[in-house]
A and B are shown apart, each in its own frame.
Chain A
Amino acid sequence: MRRSNKRLPWAYSLPALILVGIVIVFPIIYTGYLSLTNMNLYHWFDFEIIGFSNYERALLKLDSGFLSALFTTIIWTAVNMALQVVLAYFIAMALNVDGLRLNRLYKTLLMFPWAMPAYVSILLWRVGMYNTEFGLLNKVLTALGMEKVNFLAENTPAFISCLVLNLWMALPFMIMMIDGALQSIDKSYYESAQLDGAGFLARNIYITIPALRGIIAPAVIMTTFTTFKQFDIIYLLTMQKGALSGATLQTIITYAHQNAFVSNNYGLSSAVSIIIFVLIVVFSLGTNRGLREES
């Protein structure tokens, strides 16, 4: 009974679609409109359409900072994903070694960083780990007789600090996905490989990795998007209102947010938002096609 009724399904989905219309479609259209105007602090009500010059400014002028933010975002996403997948792979492998009795306990303990509210974790790390006075890392350094490090004051250390924190927050999910996938691999492959004399490396390259690829692809793609769109970590660690840490790290999302809520450059911020949206849509259409072909 796949029913075909013309009006009923629309009646059922109308409330939800109206809600989506207000909260998601309207902002996108309005942002698209603003991106063509010169709206800023001085033109709050009397802004006018100025065509595509916001886009020009973002994409063609190097000093607008957008291109360097885009570069940072790409590096951020690539490094994060590479480390995440590799580390999670080895940790999940370790959890699946035969004869390990406590693996359920380890799994539960390792899930804690994922379960914590994200903003709480970030703020705990900001003060509890990285801070120069109260931070545990600096206390350890002092105890070892070394100088204190201001982790968030310069771009490179700040980038690494954000990276470590992101790994801490994101690894549990990836470990769990890979762990689930590892358990779905038929054990008999390994037995026959063992008989053929395949070593640890060969078993990984020829059995585990090919078997995992299809299963964990959706999770990896999803995490890539969340990493690309990551805002909270960089914002809360380095650029809170009135508590700038000194680093000037910008990803494209923080760049758009800064331009709207700090420098009140609404036109430029909107243009950047639309560019980000287009990038994400193109990327997701591409990965959807790739996934379909693989399955």
Chain B
Amino acid sequence: MVIKMKSSKKIKTKLKLTALNIFLISLSFIGLVPILYALSLSLSGSVGALSADLTFLPEKVTLENYRRIITEEPFFTWLSNSVILSVATMTVAIGFAVVASYAFSRFRFKGRTGVLKLLLVLNAFPQILSMFAIFRLFKTVGMLDSKAGLVIVYAGSMCIFSIWNMKGYFDTIPVEIEEASRIDGAGDFQLLWKIVIPLAMPAVIVTAVMVLIFVWNEYLFATTFMLNEKSYTLAGGLYQLQSNDYGRSWPLFSAASIMVSVPILIIFFCIQKYMVSGLTAGGVKG
């Protein structure tokens, strides 16, 4: 009797787990459908999109769309623009934010908490809403259509986030290490450059990568501030590609989306573990 009960319970949990597995497999599949569909279209030449029947696997796998996006569109120009902009933004934003967050973490000075709180409030202003003011400012000083202008906008937008993110990490590094090196005669700047930043490297890298992803994915400022197609980033170029005539370029667009997304997917899964703590560390942001 006891054995029978045990085995029926076992069967019950087995059934439950099977049902759960089926549920989670279908959920994962549903989540991936839009991406898989784009992947399949990008591999099926130019006919796949127009066929009326419901096909999910390409009949004949071809890299034609990938070839076309590289040869017929200024893909490498867009790519190099994206790389230049994101690396430049990363350097400026992290360079400025690292010293600032160190100051906010290590020094106690008048106005410290006030500035920190003010920065959070300022960060609440939706970036899109300041687009017009910046547009007019840049038009007046002739900085439209320049990479430097966009770098300033991007770096400024990510600066507050970076300060808060890295300050949180600096707070966890014990100050005794710095005291010891100070006794050994290290100057202020030397201390920061040789001792503190190497210790904070994990936080610096994660923040830097998140700035990079932000710039890589930004299309609105990139297309509003850059006035000709040659100076677009990948995001801007892709946006342009689909807004022109997507009927013709939809398989092309799906190939381009896959190419743009793959590097981001790889980076994302490398730093995913650290991202969650960083995102919520500063409390309210968005």
Which A residues have a C-beta under 8 Å from some C-beta of B?
Answer: 1-6, 8-10, 12-13, 15-17, 19-20, 22-28, 30-31, 34, 91, 94-95, 97, 99-100, 102, 106, 108-121, 123-129, 133-134, 136, 139-140, 142-143, 168, 172, 176-177, 180, 218-219, 221-222, 225-226, 229, 231-232, 240-243, 253, 256-257, 260-261, 266, 269-270, 273, 276-277, 280-281, 284, 287-288, 291
B150-205 contacts to A, CB under 8 A, are: 152-153, 155-157, 159-160, 163, 175, 178-179, 182, 188
- List chain A residues, Cβ under 8 A from B110: 6
- List chain B residues, Cβ under 8 A from A95: 24
Q: Does A97 contact B20, Cβ atoms closer than 8 Å?
A: yes
- List chain B residues, Cβ under 8 A from A17: 100, 115
Q: Does B122 contact A13, Cβ atoms closer than 8 Å?
A: no
Q: Does B20 contact A115, Cβ atoms closer than 8 Å?
A: no
**New contact pairs (16) apart from A6-B109, A123-B238, A266-B132, CB-CB < 8 Å:** A13-B99, A13-B103, A16-B159, A23-B156, A116-B265, A120-B261, A123-B242, A126-B242, A127-B246, A129-B34, A134-B49, A143-B54, A168-B31, A168-B34, A229-B286, A273-B126
**Contact segment of B1-9, B62-70, B73-81, B252-260:** B252-260
C-alpha spacing A98/B152, complex, angstroms = 50
Interface string of B215-235 (1 = CB under 8 A from A): 011011000100000000001
**Set A22, A229, A291: member contacting B283, Cβ < 8 A:** A291
Q: 5 tightest A-B contacts by CB?
A: A23-B156, A27-B130, A27-B133, A12-B103, A16-B100
Main secondary structure of the interface of B (DSSP, over half): helix
Given known A12-B99, A94-B20, A143-B54, contact A3–B132 (CB-CB < 8 A) = no
Whether B87 sits at the interface, judged by CB under 8 Å, is no
Closest B residue, CB atoms, query A216 = B280
Q: Does B109 contact A20, Cβ atoms closer than 8 Å?
A: no
**Set B109, B130, B179: member contacting A31, Cβ < 8 A:** B130
In the complex, what's the smallest C-beta–C-beta distance from A131 to chain B, in angstroms? 8
C-alpha spacing A187/B20, complex, angstroms = 21
Q: Does B132 contact A109, Cβ atoms closer than 8 Å?
A: no
